[in-house]
Amino acid sequence: MLTNIDGIIFDMDGTLIDSMWVWPGLDDRYMEKYGLRQPEGFHEIIEGMSCEEVADYFLESFPNLTCSREEMIEEWIDMAYEAYTTQVTLKKGVLNFIRKMKKAGKKIGIATSNAKSLVDDTLRALQVSHLFDVVRTAGEVQAGKPAPDVYLLVARELGIRPDRCLVFEDVPMGILAGKNAGMRVCAVADDFSLLQLEKKKELADYFIQDFRDIEQETYEILTENLLDGRKYR
């Protein structure tokens, strides 16, 4: 049933955890604080970027900002910290799915665009840090998503060939990152990317509404479909 897949790699925000709702309000507060105006298509522009790349984008787009890249990222982390460590929850069904994959002998990793300190503290707050063999961020590689760098780094540290990894992602740039890494990708529904649903389905190899699709009575059939290369829509 789990043939040809040795590693499961999760994006974090919108895929592993329900957290995308945090950022629109945070962006609005930050923009208001510094008298900035969001460019048209702002969220699409920064989609998949590492924190460092987003900070560089801000510094290039808003020359009146006088802070450094590091100061900007630190402020964003401070603004998001309470929500991430006290309000963010795991996506439905994902905990049981991970436990089943580990029981089946699969290696589990995270490849995220978020900041490493916020990622680590969030996983600790959710009491799931021990479930992941490797946790890496796009800030630790040369380029953020849709470049494959962070996924290839996680696969390498898991000791698994890219073509034997299954990625779970919630946005198009992340899906492309997994595909560019030579991995199979399952798109996960998320309210924040609802308008991108058809694009996600088109780019990904598979699509699930949430991880309960795998967890419940269709678990064996769906997992076989995912891991044996048949599409599930």
The full set of domain ranges for the chain reads 7-19+88-227, 22-86
pLDDT at 227: 56
Q: What is the pLDDT of residue 214?
A: 76
Which CATH code fits 7-19+88-227? 3.40.50.1000
> CA–CA distance from 84 to each of 101, 110, 180 (Å)?
25, 16, 29
pLDDT at residue number 147: 96
What is the model's pTM? 0.88
At 230 the pLDDT is 47
3-state SS class at 211: coil
Query: Would you state the pLDDT for residue 14?
Result: 95
pLDDT of residue 95: 96
Tell me what pLDDT residue 41 has. 85
Helix (H) or strand (E) holding 188: strand 184-188
Task: Name the stretches of the chain with pLDDT < 50.
Answer: 1-2, 217-219, 221-222, 229-233
Continuous H helices in the chain: 22-33, 42-46, 51-61, 69-86, 94-103, 116-125, 149-158, 172-180, 197-203, 212-215, 219-227
